[in-house]
Amino acid sequence: MKYKPNNIGALFKNKNRVHERSPVMTGTIQLTSSVVRAHGRRIASGEKAILRLAGWHNIAANTAERYITIKAQLPLLEESAQLPFDDDDNEDPMDL
């Protein structure tokens, strides 16, 4: 079965971190064609291409490795890009 993009990705601890300024986490996200087309139209019209991001702590079932699932979506309103996501807990999302 072919994987369908759904604007969801994951960030894992960067095991190849060699410098203090290297990223702590790395990962990928696969965007749907509709999100890419919408951003193409925005860029063509001179607007900024903005994605709203959300993240959730997870633990891999097979390795017990901690990671963050991320989801991207187009902002509903221009000002909504500035609003924070609801924070269910006050944990540091980078504290792995």
Report in angstroms the alpha-carbon separations of 81 from 1, 47, 64, 72, 75: 35, 13, 33, 12, 6
Q: What is the pLDDT of residues 38-87, one digit of tens each?
A: 989 999 999 998 999 999 999 999 999 999 999 999 887 554 445 455 54
89: pLDDT strictly greater than 80: no
pLDDT band at 20 (very low <50, low <70, confident <90, very high): very high
**What letter represents residue 45's amino acid?**
S
